[in-house]
Amino acid sequence: MSHLIGGIFIQLTWGNALALVLLGLVGGILSGFTGSGAAFIMTPGMMNLRVPGVVAVGSNMAHRFGNNMMGAKRHAGLGNVDKKLSIFLLVTALAGVQLAVWINSKLFNLGGGGEGHGEGSGSGAVSNLYISVVFIGVLTLVGAFMLRDAFRSPDSKEGAGPSMKLANFFSKLPLPPYVHFPVADVRVSLWLVLGLGLLVGYLDGTVAIGGFVGVPAMIYLFGVPTTVATGSELFMAMFGGAWGAISYAYQGFVDLRLSCLLLIGSLLGVYIGAYGTKVVKEVLVRMVSSSIILLAVLSRAVAVPVYLREMGKLNFSEAWVPWLKGGSTAILFAAGIGGAALVLYHVVKATLERRRVHATLLVRTTAGEP
Amino acid sequence: MPIIFICSVPFSGGERVAKSLAQKLGYGYMSREDVVARANEAGIPVGKLEVAMVKRPSVQERMARLKDRYLAVATATICEKAQDGNLVYYGRAGHRLLPGVSHVLRLHVLPEHGQRVETVMTRLKLSREKAEKFLRDIDGDILAWVRFVHGIDMDDSRMYDFVANLENLNLENAATALCGVAELPDFRPTPASQRAMQDRFLQAQARIKLSLDDRTADVDLTVRANDGVLTITYVPLQARAASLISDAVGDLPGCREIRCTMASTNVLWIQEAFKPDSETFREVNELARRWGAAVELLQYKPGDAPSDAVAVAVGRSAAMEARTGGVEDDVPEARPSSEEKSFQETLEALVHEGRSGGGQRVSGSRDRLSAVISPSIPYSLVVLGDLFLDKPPATRTRLVRELSMFLGDHVKAPVLSTADLAAKLHLGGREVARGAVAGVLVVLIYCGVFLWQDKLIDLLGGPAHKAAPWFAAVLVALMAPVIAFLYGSVLASMMKWLKMD
């Protein structure tokens, strides 16, 4: 606990401050590249830097709050936001966020938050374990689905995209009343929308990964076009994120210093990552994204025994602890840095190629001149 | 004589009007069924495509390539038949397949509802209630299909030259009346409109060939044909396909040249008169360089009278190269005007820069302009250059603004005037000042955060937080977006300065 101020906030050194900026940069690149929030690397990355899980989630939400606001504004300008859909989702998403904040706060206090935040063993080990388990559960499914999708349907074959079985199944369910969303041009059962909002809000509030479920669900379950799904989710996340950040701040779990450091790298990274999508094949984007997600899951899984030991639920030699913690950090940072480096490599390569390809590449005069 | 497109819904009597009209005029007849049969032969599952597009918008994105193939087959089938002689086509908004071709007569047949229900009841042996529901469903599906495939509302009367309402009009009389319309000189072919149709045919044939070749079938390509010159753009991440494109297209009749351009995206530049040495050219070219975009020129002469869209190729004047048509004697041989020369030179300059996306010319109403803007080309930006040149400056500004708003509703891309473009491209003094102020504020905020960490931590989670937790909530609610906004502004200015925005 000596590394924590008041049992919740870490002592900042030049080393971990730089690591946070780097984490932001890597997260930003991956965020721009995968088109999702990069909480899958930011949250565990901060936890690996010994930030308590609940503070990592709260600080990341505060950091994303501003980012989402700017992203939503841009999407709204392009007509990609179905505000009606966002507002319907938001109704239950706010409840979901509140539920998640309440559970996280209770578990943190239960599992020992030090002087300021409860007592017990293991400096928030219960909360850390809970966050890790949710993270592992959800992202294993998402990562596996994306990876299978990438291998099954190279972006080449027409109509061989993700399965529409779920969408067809849900569209046949008689669940009135139905609501029509004009921009997305879909008609969806109100109960499905409210249920999804609650799930997205809960996941956003728990690990800040609501978008990972929200966007695919809108596409596959509701039949919303991809750009509208992304824009509407960002619009909703702007309010949901703000609500989550404020709620966590009220509970005392937002470290603005961490948010500021993450922001330095992440905004710059988003520019680079977004450019990367233009020069990297879509199938590679999906493969890289899913691989990083699954490695982030592995990293969390490696850290789980440590939390269980801190809670007294698992007994093994203390000598293993630094190895497990180090291994978890190494896997996560290797995955993040590796992924970001891959994107950077393609961006630099494409920039150099573009300079070479200056003129119109091929001009052929045919025999069929009229 | 014109190609007559008759659009209507099933069981409306439209098909009978079309057949009767073809018989009276001695024209060939073709219906949508012929196009669908040809598409199915080409391996396009039209039924599946229809169901997918009508039922689920998310599938539409994935079916886009298949849709392009279908449109190409439809265009080629109609052009092939129309080249043999006069043609009456019955279907759904088929006239949208030949944008810029003026010898097209667009007719909409509106059914008499009661008669239509009776027809369905008799033919399908349905009760009145079921027949009405059947018609509602089928009409809804057709409207959705036309909206997605052609980007228009099929019921919009502005899309047609004439509407025949069968409520008080007998089918035979409707056909007789339309015979007179078809004879009007306004719908006769001109060399320019015939050339435009040949280009549409060439473009469709090239698209079909590229989609049938295994090496290029899965590559995202934009194909334009301008006066026998095929301009094909491909995205950088599929650069390997570049060398295969030419082989895949092969030798097509009427194709003089194939140009392949690598472009991440497309920019459409609409202007009344182009000049390669103008400031606007430099601005657009600079933008294209930054975005890796191909620039397509569209010379637009605003006016009420509709006329042809003329595709123009580099190094060859449209007027000089006009091919002969049925009424060519009516058209005096023209020398290239200075405007045409400038247009050619601008295209040449773009080719030299490796940014040409082709060019075309159109005059007439705003609807005519929007009709020639292909919905299948993913434009990232539409630039409105110097337009309405014969109007006073204040009127010009207003008209450009109105046109910008009109196109904004019809084109799926932001529409910018050249003034807006300059502001977007260049880091003006005001923007520098704003970026500098934002930068200073960011530095001050960061200094404050890190120099007074203890106090901040106290407020966020220490004893001060315990006393007033709402203060931390307000602090985060204010600071998080403010810092993101200020830092984002600094970064955006820097990227613009580095020309990497």
Q: What share of chain A is helix, strand, coil (3-state, %, to 5)?
A: 70, 5, 25
Alpha carbon distances (Å) from A170 to A86, A166, A167, A176, A187: 20, 6, 5, 12, 12
- For residues B341 and B466, membership in a common domain is answered with no
3-state class (DSSP) for residue A96: helix
- For residues B421 and B441, membership in a common domain is answered with no
- For residues B208 and B336, membership in a common domain is answered with yes
Size of interface A-B (CB pairs under 8 A): 216
Inform me whether the C-beta atom of residue A173 falls under 8 Å from chain B C-beta atoms: no
The domain boundary residue, chosen from B128, B155, B187 = B187
- CATH classification of the domain holding B333: 3.40.50.620
> What was the pLDDT predicted at A36?
67
Chain A 212-241, CB below 8 Å of chain B: which residues?
219-220, 222-226, 229
Chain A residue closest in CA terms to B470: A250
**What burial class does residue B454 get, using C-beta atoms within 10 Å of its C-beta: 0-12 exposed, 13-18 middle, 19+ buried?**
exposed
The proportion of chain A whose per-residue pLDDT surpasses 90, expressed as a percent, equals 4
Q: Which of B258, B264, B465 sits opposite A364 (nearest CB)?
A: B258
> What was the pLDDT predicted at B253?
83
> What was the pLDDT predicted at B55?
60
Q: Between A364 and B44, whose confidence is greater? A: B44
The answer to whether residue A367 is domain-embedded is no
Across the beta sheet with B87-91, the strand order is B28-31, B87-91, B3-7, B104-110, B162-165
> Which residue blocks in B239-353 are alpha helix, DSSP H?
242-249, 279-291, 338-353
- For residues B270 and B412, membership in a common domain is answered with yes
The answer to whether residue A368 is domain-embedded is no
**pLDDT tens digits along B320-369:** 333 333 333 444 445 557 777 788 788 878 877 777 777 888 888 888 88
Q: DSSP code of B313?
A: B
- For residues B249 and B127, membership in a common domain is answered with no
> What was the pLDDT predicted at B329?
40
Chain A residue closest in CA terms to B488: A267
> What was the pLDDT predicted at A370?
36
Domain of residue B101: give its range: 3-187
Global pTM reads: 0.60
- For residues B282 and B403, membership in a common domain is answered with yes
- For residues B233 and B177, membership in a common domain is answered with no
Q: Between A247 and A183, whose confidence is greater? A: A247
Half-sphere exposure of A108 (CA within 13 A, CB side): 27
Question: Is the pLDDT at A2 greater than 80, yes or no?
Answer: no
The answer to whether residue A363 is domain-embedded is no
8 Å CB contact of B488 and A70: yes
* Residues in CB range of A55: below 8 A, 6 or more apart: A8, A9, A46, A253, A254, A255, A258
Number of folded domains in chain A? Answer: 1
**β pairing state of A362-365 and B257-262:** antiparallel
**pLDDT tens digits along A256-267:** 999 999 988 888
> What was the pLDDT predicted at A166?
62
- For residues B22 and B153, membership in a common domain is answered with yes
> What was the pLDDT predicted at A4?
64
Number of folded domains in chain B? Answer: 3
Inform me whether the C-beta atom of residue A274 falls under 8 Å from chain B C-beta atoms: no
Which of A27-41, A145-159, B371-385 is predicted with the least confidence, judged by mean pLDDT? A145-159
Q: Between A112 and B36, whose confidence is greater? A: B36
* Residues in CB range of B374: below 8 A, 6 or more apart: B99
Q: Which of B59, B479, B487 sits opposite A164 (nearest CB)?
A: B59
Among A71, A350, A33, CA closest to B291: A350
Chain A residue closest in CA terms to B58: A225
- For residues B95 and B169, membership in a common domain is answered with yes
Inform me whether the C-beta atom of residue A107 falls under 8 Å from chain B C-beta atoms: no
The letter for the amino acid at A324 is L
The domain boundary residue, chosen from B375, B398, B425 = B425
Tell me how close the Cα of A40 comes to any Cα of chain B, in angstroms. 20
- For residues B481 and B464, membership in a common domain is answered with yes
Residue A20 and residue A262 in contact, taking contact as beta carbons nearer than 8 Å: yes
The letter for the amino acid at B487 is Y
- For residues B253 and B400, membership in a common domain is answered with yes
Tell me how close the Cα of A22 comes to any Cα of chain B, in angstroms. 17
Q: What whole-number distance in Å separates Cα of residue B347 and Cα of residue B326? A: 30
> Looking at beta carbons, which residues of chain A come within 8 Å of B61?
225-226
- Numbers of helices and strands, H then E, in chain B: 19, 14
> What was the pLDDT predicted at B501?
60
- For residues B223 and B272, membership in a common domain is answered with yes
Tell me how close the Cα of B481 comes to any Cα of chain A, in angstroms. 4
Quickly state the pLDDT bin for A367 (edges 50, 70, 90).
very low
The answer to whether residue A74 is domain-embedded is yes
> What was the pLDDT predicted at A118?
37
| pLDDT, chain A, mean | 77
> What was the pLDDT predicted at B14?
87
**What burial class does residue A15 get, using C-beta atoms within 10 Å of its C-beta: 0-12 exposed, 13-18 middle, 19+ buried?**
exposed
The proportion of chain A whose per-residue pLDDT surpasses 70, expressed as a percent, equals 78
What is the largest distance, in Å, between two alpha-carbon atoms of chain A?
87
8 Å CB contact of B62 and A159: yes
Question: Is the pLDDT at A46 greater than 70, yes or no?
Answer: yes
- CATH classification of the domain holding B107: 3.40.50.300
The letter for the amino acid at A45 is G
Quickly state the pLDDT bin for A35 (edges 50, 70, 90).
low
Q: What is the CA radius of gyration of chain B?
A: 28
Domain of residue A133: give its range: 4-356
- Below-50 pLDDT ranges, chain B: 306-308, 311-333
Inform me whether the C-beta atom of residue A278 falls under 8 Å from chain B C-beta atoms: yes
Residue given tokens 């092939």 in the structure block: B80
The answer to whether residue A352 is domain-embedded is yes
